[in-house]
Amino acid sequence: SAVISQKPSRDICQRGTSLTIQCQVDSQVTMMFWYRQQPGQSLTLIATANQGSEATYESGFVIDKFPISRPNLTFSTLTVSNMSPEDSSIYLCSVEDHFYPNTEAFFGQGTRLTVV
Amino acid sequence: GQNIDQPTEMTATEGAIVQINCTYQTSGFNGLFWYQQHAGEAPTFLSYNVLDGLEEKGRFSSFLSRSKGYSYLLLKELQMKDSASYLCAILKKAGTALIFGKGTTLSVSS
């Protein structure tokens, strides 16, 4: 199983500023996934980060707003740029471990972001 | 497209059994996850079903019928600490991201 360290665990930020969230995995993984969970909602995929290439963003999410870095197979960052109160959410990174026929998906501890 | 449906809320009493249903329609299907999420925390893995049938893990069991696009999570001998959100999620293809349902909030009372 993979262990993911995500930080910061929480932050309160002023509107218009940016926050970078880091995820460190204890093993090499090809794909890392970034999710957002708005208050009272389920998880929504922001983007898929593959090492050595640009992240793939889901509909409704753009690189200028959520730039992602993936410098190696164990680390990724997500930046929430030019924040507004609507960005207040929990942000989660995730990796998967496949061992046919099973799969496990692991999550970081989450970053609870409040924008004021 | 894809659609994953689960009840929004359920209530039960300590010691009881509760079944949380999840129905799905997706353009691809590899397997189905169940996660538990307590307020303010990250989701915790409960089960992954790839084949039809029932998988039992202690007080929790999960069932899958691929032909019917249906799964359920069965929680036995409910405890107060089982009060949480339960998320059904689909893996369409290995190496892709999970697609989550909206979650079911379970409240267990004494």
Instruction: Give the pLDDT confidence of B35-85 residue by residue, as tens digits.
Output: 999 998 899 999 999 999 999 999 999 999 999 999 999 999 999 999 999
CA distances from A32 to A49, A51, B4 (A): 5, 9, 23
pLDDT at B70: 97
Q: How many CB atoms lie within 10 A of CB A60?
A: 9
Q: HSE, CB side, 13 Å, CA atoms: give it for residue B62.
A: 23
Nearest Cα neighbor of A72 from A35, A25, A104, A109 is A25
Mutation pick from A103, A104, A106, A112 vs chain B, by most beta carbons of B within 10 Å, is A103
pLDDT at B94: 83
Per-residue HEC secondary structure of B51-107 comes to CCEEEEECCEEEEEECCCCEEEEEECCCCHHHCEEEEEEEECCCCCCEEECCCEEEE
Å from B80 to nearest chain A CA? 20
pLDDT at B2 over 80: no
Closest CA in chain A for residue B32: A103
Angle made by CA atoms A83, A86, A87, in degrees to the nearest 5: 50
pLDDT at A99 over 80: no
pLDDT at B1 over 70: no
Gap between the Cα atoms of A93 and A91, Å rounded: 7
pLDDT at A70: 94
